[in-house]
Structure 1
Amino acid sequence: MNVSPRYREAWEGYWTATSDTPGEAIWDADPSVTAVPDSERLLPYADPTLPVVDLGCGNGTQTRCLATRFVRAIGVDLSHAAVAHARRADPGNTAEFAQLDLVDAVAVAGLHERIGDAHVYLRAVIHQSEPEARPAVAAAVATLVGERGRAFVTEPTPASKDVLRQVAQAPDGPPEKLRRVLEHGLRPAEATEEEVRRLLRETGLTLLDEGAGTLAQTAYLPGGSRVELPARWFVLGRT
């Protein structure tokens, strides 16, 4: 199984049209408000000598941060253009980057065979995946975790739609960062919290911890406050 051509082209088009400027993507927030607090929730359950795989790494901002917390960090993304961004932003080779379709179970299993059990960082990927692909995305997490790894998964809740609606209804219309997402046919906050929880449960992984959180964005409300999407985070692993 693979993602649909439409979905693949939407992401390839988005990242091709995105510059190397940090923060141009609406979700490309500084690690201090993303990967740092997320990894602090994961590390009490995780062996830092195992590698970490950042699924849906985009331009690699969070992957490079994770490389400072774990012995090895690998960022993978569906989009070839995103991987090219990530490599250009990391001339010192702090992390590794590769193209990977998470829905391709054979390719995911191949990655696990090459690197062994790993920790997984999945930030806001399930919610914008095609409905029929979401079970495979969740299954990819379990495959890469194996027996020894742990996973940190965070996804926006349906309340995020209200926040995005407020942003889109600004007097001048949606800000450019959100407009570009919508123009490329990407649909945020499409998965419910109940669906995410069910998908993770069906992987066979055990829920070790969870909590409410937010997904920091690089766009701001008219009053100057940062756009933050309500989210739920989960730490999972084998029993």
Structure 2
Amino acid sequence: MDASRRYREAWEGFWRETSDAPGEAIWDSDPALASVPHSELLLPYADVSLPVVDLGCGNGTQTRYLATCFDRAVGVDLSHAAIELARRADTAKVAEFEQLDLVDHDAVRALRERLGDTNVYMRAVIHQSEPQDRPAVAGAVAELLGGRGRAFVVELTPASKAVLLKAAEGPGGPPEKLRRVFDHGLKPAGAAEEEVPELLRAVGLTVLATGDTALAQTERLPDGTRIDLPARWFVLARADRA
């Protein structure tokens, strides 16, 4: 089985076994800890009349919040099972959800042609992607922005590995939500320190603002401490249109 197919099946398996309960996925944080502060960093640069596309939306928790900030919100994910969860969870029908492989350049371009220039929200997708696919994922961000869109991208740094290792080495082994990630062959914090900004620059994106942060998880250590993973955020535009 090739790496791309393995990757797709790993995510399908993960989301098929994830219930509709909020927070069951380790990264399914309350928007107050994710898309709310992230939007505050993006909005000074963004035209909210443009759609926002949530890349790697999972079960759509953050997409639904983004729909309160932008005129239109579209969540996309590689996994069909994730999209089904997202549609069920969106009982008020505030957002749209569709399956999309960010490595499929033709499909990304078709979405861009359908929506026009868009803003992009992408939380911790590059570091989970297969190394050979990361340039295409970064390229999808650039493609979707067009001339007027702005992006908020946040990715784990290698320092997250130490936090995850500590969590996994507890007396009882990895906490349940983290064990599920490992059991499905998913590999968090896989990107090197400078890999993400280099990928973003290589596809023609320019950094308008950046900083350090931590991504709050829905799992805790045995002593009750919440798992927070070190990360770096970027607000981006197309370099030729900024």
TM-score > 0.5 by shorter chain: yes
1:121 aligns with 2:93: no
Contact residue 63 and residue 75 of structure 1 kept, 8 A: yes
**What TM-score comes out, normalization by structure 1 length?**
0.98
2-structure distance, mates of 1:70, 1:134: 27
1:57-114 deviations in whole A, cap 9, x for unaligned?
0000000000001111000000000000000001221100000000000000000000
1:127 alignment partner, SS class:
helix
2:202 partner letter:
E
Deviation at 1:160, TM superposition (A): 0.0
CA RMSD of aligned residues (A): 1.0
Amino acid at match of 2:228: E
**Count of matched residue pairs:** 238
Q: Which runs of 5+ in 1 are unaligned?
A: none
Q: Is the 8 A contact 2:124 2:156 kept in 1?
A: yes
Aligned to 1:94: 94
Residue segments in structure 2 that go unaligned for 5+ positions in a row = none
Deviations 1:8-36 (A, max 9, x none): 00000000011111000000000000000
Spell out structure 1 runs of 4+ moving beyond 2 A.
none
Match of 1:214 in 2: 214
Q: How does 1:46-85 map to 2 (within 5 A)?
A: 46-85=46-85
Corresponding position of 1:148: 148
For residues 190 and 214 of structure 1, the distance between their equivalents in structure 2, rounded to whole angstroms, comes to 16
How far apart are the structure 1 equivalents of 2:9 and 2:92? Answer: 30
SS in 2 for 1:83: helix
CA distance in 2, matches of 1:225, 1:170: 13
In the TM superposition, residue 193 of structure 1 has moved relative to its aligned partner by 2.4
Secondary structure of the corresponding residue to residue 217 of structure 2: strand
CA distance in structure 1 between the partners assigned to 2:90 and 2:194 by the alignment = 37
1:130, 1:137 → 2: CA distance?
A: 10
Question: AA paired with 1:132?
Answer: Q
The one-character-per-residue Cα deviations of 1:137-183 (angstroms, maximum 9, x if unpaired) are 00000000010000000000000000000111111110110000000
Offset of residue 3 of structure 1? 7.2
Q: Match of 1:109?
A: 109
TM-score by length of 2: 0.97
Equivalence for 2:40: 40
Name the SS of the counterpart of 2:194 in structure 1.
helix
State how far apart, in whole Å, the 2-side matches of 1:179 and 1:204 are: 37
What is the CA–CA distance in structure 2 between the aligned matches of 1:207 and 1:105, rounded to whole Å? 23
